[in-house]
Each structure stands twice: as C-alpha cells, then as structure tokens.
Structure 1
Amino acid sequence: MLNFLSLFVILLAAFPVLSRDPYDFVTVLLQQADIIPDIISVNTHFDPEAFLFIKLPVGPVLLGNTLNATSSLTLPNVSFTQIHAPVDQLYTIVMVDPDAPTKENRTYAAYRHWLATGIKPPRHINDFAEFTQADTTPYLSPNPPTGSGSHRYTLLLYREPCHSFAIPVGAIEYGSDFNSRKNWNATVFAEKYDLKLVAANFFYVHG
C-alpha cells in the first residue's frame, strides 16, 4: 500500500517541469481543471504552502486522477507536508462538489460533502492528521448519480485564525440535509471566518 511519502514522489514525478516553487504545479493543475475559479476565486490569490494528501477507501487523491464512486462512510485519511506555522496551529478541511448536479448544470454547486475543524498537523509525512473535533458537516461519500457525468471533488485545507476558532452553533455548515449542503461558497466561508487557504487537492468521479 502506498504511504504518503510515496504519494509525494508520485506527485512530483507526474509534473515534469518544476519552477523554483515546488507548489506551482498544484496551482497549474487547479487552473487546468477550472477549480480556479469555479471553487477557488482568482481574488483569493491562492499560494499553496503544503501538499495535501488524501486517501479514500477507493484509492489516493492525486491532483486530478479518477476514482470509483463509493457509498462508504469511512472518513478519508488526511496528511499534509510541513507548513511554516506554530506547532500548535490548527486547520479546517472541506470537501465540495462544484459539479452538482452536473458540470453543465451547476444548479446546486458547490455541494458541501464534508467540513471539519480543529485538525492537528501530522508529526511526520507518513502520519495522519489528528481530528480533535466532531465534524461540523458530516462526511458524505463521493457517489454522484448515474448519468451525471464527471464530478470534480475538491478538498481544501485552511489555516485557522486562532487556537480557539469555532464555527458558531446554528451556522449553515452544521446542516447535513440537502438544502443545507447545496449552493455553498468556499471563498465566502473562508473570508467570513478569516481562514487562510494553504493547500488543495482534487479527483474525478464519473456518475
């Protein structure tokens, strides 16, 4: 089974020309997939600070690979490379589908599949991040309707503004029903709570 260090090597090898900034290719792939600007606003001026590693029950997420749909409610394994921040820094992760119900008809986009706060960074690259809080939005697996085409499931990692950060009780992000999850804007969310986007990853699932 691939560990996170192996995934890191694969990601680097998959992009043949690197600039001085090893994270530049992440931005390039996000732009090529239109995740910038469909999910990450160009006004965000996203400058990646880490590689975000995600492993689902059906396989690893490798910046645009295709995975099988799954109804598994097993939470993804999450890790990320070291970020220049205090050792007690905490993070928020979200997973969204910008192609709901389809890429051609994004009436419900973005659809929020998962949101968790209070994440401790891994101590080593092969360790998992530690989730210290219950999920704000319960995890919903990537399982698009048959015939709905390709969906770009996107994971975003944010640096929280302070150690006591918490989303207020009653916020829409606590909702787990369809109406609470649909038409959710990650950029607006981040600006509202002063969250800094530091890493992103994505994969495709065909409905």
Structure 2
Amino acid sequence: MAASVDPLVVGRVIGDVVDMFIPSVSMSVYFGSKHVTNGCDIKPSIAVNPPKLTLTGNMDNLYTLVMTDPDAPSPSEPSMREWIHWVVVDIPGGTNPFRGKEIVPYTGPKPPVGIHRFIFVLFEQKGPMGPVEQPESRGNFNTRKFAKDMDLGLPVATVYFNAQKEPATRRR
C-alpha cells in the first residue's frame, strides 16, 4: 500500500493537507471521461460540474468527502490555505456522493495564478452525521481541523489533480 501514498508525499498533499495514512477504500474520480490520477492535469473548463466518484467500501458504512485547494490564491503565497470546493457527508459505501448530503456546494477550480492542487479527501464516518454547519467562508478552511471536529480520524482515500488558469480564448 505504500506505493499508493508516495505521490501524495511527493505532491505535498500529505503534510500540507492531511497526515500520513494507510488507504483502505478505493476511490475513483472522473470529470467526464477523464480519470483523475494523482498529479494529473485537469483543465478548469472540464471541471465546471461535480465529478463522478465511485467508492468501494461497505454499503453499511458512511463517508465524508472534502475537496480542497491548499494553494489559494497562489502556490507561492497560499494565504487563504485551504480554499474549500466541496463537502459531502453521509455517502453510503459502494456509491457516489450524489447519494450523500451536500454541506458545501461544489464549485469548480478557478486558479488565478500558478498551478494549484485540488485534493479529494475521503473519511469514513463513525455513524450518520447530525447537523453540520457550513463554514463561514470557503477561504482558510482546514481539513485536519474539520476531521477532528467531526471525529472522522485519518482519511481512508485521497486523490489530487493539478489545474492552472486557462488562456483566454481570442476573439476576432
């Protein structure tokens, strides 16, 4: 399993966003036909809508998904680290997040400058979530603190992609 966390260490996902963990659930993320693999490039224009996710995991277990950008507004000065893009709770194992309860509505990547990492972090819940308050703002979110406050423990799966601002289309 160590090989599955290596790209997360190299990409500083482990360290910047989450602590070292051992993946125990398989999570696949797709924007249309584009499969998200650790460190791949995704154009913001294809990530406008929420991705399709598939999870393994026991149907009796519930999961929480967090999508975050630790590089906001700029990778060299991430003063808004982390910018939260999506939070879904009570996702049944073996399904996708559209069966869960959206706490923070999805917003696609819109990096203003530089190459940003967009990270999907999956946690296994101890049981159904009670009322979950929406963060006051999307900026300065902290995945570790959220996991601690919600008693989620360490992640069970994580995958990330890179995105950068697309060049403006030229009009003639």
Q: Same-fold call, TM > 0.5?
A: yes
Name the amino acid aligned to 2:86.
Answer: W
Aligned residues: 164
1:31-74 Cα distance to aligned partner (Å, 9 max, x none) = 00111100013xxx411112221001372211111111127542
Residue 15 of structure 2 aligns to a residue whose secondary structure is helix
Trace 1:1-207 onto structure 2 (pairs within 5 A). Answer: 23-41=1-19, 45-57=20-32, 59-70=34-45, 73-81=48-56, 83=57, 85=58, 87-122=59-94, 128-129=95-96, 131-145=98-112, 148-162=113-127, 164-168=128-132, 171-173=133-135, 180-196=137-153, 197-207=155-165
Q: Find the aligned partners of 2:32 and 2:54 in 1 and give their Cα distance.
A: 15
TM-score, reference length from structure 1: 0.73
Whether the 8 Å CA contact 1:94–1:157 is kept in 2: the answer is yes
CA-to-partner distance for each residue in 1:9-34, whole Å, 9 max, x for gaps? xxxxxxxxxxxxxx322211100011
CA distances 1:134-160 after superposition (whole Å, capped 9, x unpaired): 410000011212xx1100100000101
TM-score (norm: length of structure 2): 0.87
Write the distance in 1 (CA, Å) between the matches of 2:157 and 2:21. 9
Question: In structure 2, how many angstroms separate the alpha carbons of the residues matched to 1:189 and 1:130?
Answer: 18
- Give, in whole Å, the separation in 2 of the partners of 1:78 and 1:71: 15
What is aligned with 1:9?
none
Q: Distance in 2 between matches of 1:204 and 1:151?
A: 5
- What RMSD over aligned residues (CA atoms) do the two structures have, in Å? 1.9
Could you tell me which runs of 5 or more consecutive residues in structure 2 were left unpaired when the two chains were aligned. Answer: 166-172
Letter in 2 for 1:131: F
Contact (CA 8 Å) 2:92, 2:99: kept in 1 or not? Answer: yes
Question: 2-side partners of 1:133 and 1:79: how far apart?
Answer: 12
Q: Which moved more, 1:134-143 or 1:94-103?
A: 134-143
Secondary structure of the residue that 1:46 maps to in structure 2?
A: coil
Identity %: 27
Q: Conserved in 2, the CA contact under 8 Å of 1:58 and 1:67? A: no
Q: Which has the higher strand share?
A: 2
Give, as a single letter, the amino acid of the residue that structure 1 aligns with 2:93.
P
In structure 2, give the amino acid aligned to 1:199: A
